[in-house]
Every structure is written in C-alpha cells, then in structure tokens.
Structure 1
Amino acid sequence: MTYLPLVNGERTYLATWMDLYSRKVVGWQVGKTMEDELVILPLRRALQWRQPVTGLIIHSDRGGQYVSAELKELL
C-alpha cells in the first residue's frame, strides 16, 4: 500500500496484490482512506480472476488493514 499525491495537494491511497511467480499485479484498488476494504476488495477480485489452488501463500507487511477479521475470513 502506498499513497499517491494529487495535484490539489491531497493524497489518495493505492493497494495492490502481486502474483510473485508471474510478477503481475492481480488486484488493485484506489481509495481516499486506508480502511480494510482498500486491501480486501482487490484481493477478492484477484482470487476470482486467478482462482488459485489450495495452498496459496499470502504475504503482507502486517499493517492494520491486513489483520482485520474480514480479511482473515476471506483468506
């Protein structure tokens, strides 16, 4: 997750999920706040699109958004 400065002086946030094998971004979301949904929505889309097999390994920096109950349930 990173922030993107805007020309008006404000900032927005970008969360991405990358498939480290293919080095492709498989899910992303831009939002005004760093709420849990900023990482959950792109992960849902990535899982739907890639349909990984059982045993998928997820790695994150363990920031607050990555330890939410909703994300744990999704995983």
Structure 2
Amino acid sequence: MAEMVNGLFKAEVIYRHVPWRSFEAVEYATLKWVDWFNNRRLQEPGGNIPPADAEANFYAALERSDVAA
C-alpha cells in the first residue's frame, strides 16, 4: 500500500513539475499534496467525502452508539 501511495505522489507531483527550482519548492509541494491526500480528496468507496469527514463521521457514530447502549 505504501508503495502505491509513493508512486501516486511521484506521478502527480514530482514528475509533473520537473525541473524543481529548489529543495524548498519540493518540500512545499509535498506538504500541499499530503494535506490534500489526507484531508480533501474524495473517496468514492466512502461516499465521495474527504477522509477527514469520514473519520469525523466514524467517531461521531461511535459516540452515538455509546449513548444508546
């Protein structure tokens, strides 16, 4: 799984913007991509919602089930 994410990152960020001006430019692009990947990309299997929303929904459902029990 990690190799798949690494390959996706390289294809979407690193190889698209060659040549890079500086290490800082690569670092900043990496931070932006990781933020998008973890917080804003839409996941089709999860109902086309971002991972951060899916995680919030999961924990909200746990809290609701604790109250019902």
What is the TM-score when the length of structure 2 is the normalising length?
Answer: 0.29
Higher relative contact order (CA 8 A, sep 6+): 1
Structure showing the higher helix proportion among its residues: 2
Structure showing the higher strand proportion among its residues: 1
What is the TM-score when the length of structure 1 is the normalising length?
Answer: 0.28
For the pair shown, which has the larger CA radius of gyration, 1 or 2?
Answer: 2
